[in-house]
A = this chain, B = another copy of it.
């Protein structure tokens, strides 16, 4: 089984820190400065809490809770770290996402989280009861940031960050 990405979501200072110590893995962003703290690590003295954003580690499967699924927009800033540990995707509150359902008799996922899919590429395929195969392609090119297996059961929903 494939390892999951790590997710960090914007929250309050209090949700990240008790006193000066991080209560969970957190990322602090102050203007052009980023600090990546593990649980138990101390907030550096040069951080001005008033000017900073705090992102706290969250269970990856809960990503969809931070998306307005009616407006298809991010409800908070978030950072995804892909399983290779080398790739980070920065999402901002208000970012528009493409929410693309995969619904059919049988469903085959093709693109994975972190994949960039272009308008000509199929990200998934569905087969009808009659055995017809339909390939699903995105209306805009973008990067797959989440595949929701929960809210549309037994179907799937792809969350794609489109390129401008």
Residues of A within 8 A of B (CB): 32-38, 41, 44-46, 83-84, 86-91, 112, 114-116, 118, 143, 161, 163-164
Residues of B within 8 A of A161 (CB): 84, 86
For A37, A112, A116, A143, the residue with the greatest tally of chain B CB atoms inside 10 Å of its CB is A116
Contact among B37, B38, B45, B116 with A116 in the assembled complex (CB-CB below 8 Å): B116
Contact among B33, B83, B90, B112 with A33 in the assembled complex (CB-CB below 8 Å): B33
Q: Is the CB of A83 within 8 A of B116?
A: no
Known contacts A86-B90, A112-B116, A116-B115; A34/B33 CB under 8 A: yes
- Shortest 7 CB-CB contacts between residues of A and residues of B: A46-B46, A34-B34, A32-B36, A88-B88, A86-B90, A115-B116, A84-B163
Number of copies: 2
Contact among B37, B83, B84, B87 with A32 in the assembled complex (CB-CB below 8 Å): B37
Q: Is the CB of B34 within 8 A of A143?
A: no
Residues of B within 8 A of A86 (CB): 89-91, 143, 161
A38, B41: Cα distance in complex, Å: 29
Known contacts A35-B32, A44-B33; A87/B89 CB under 8 A: yes
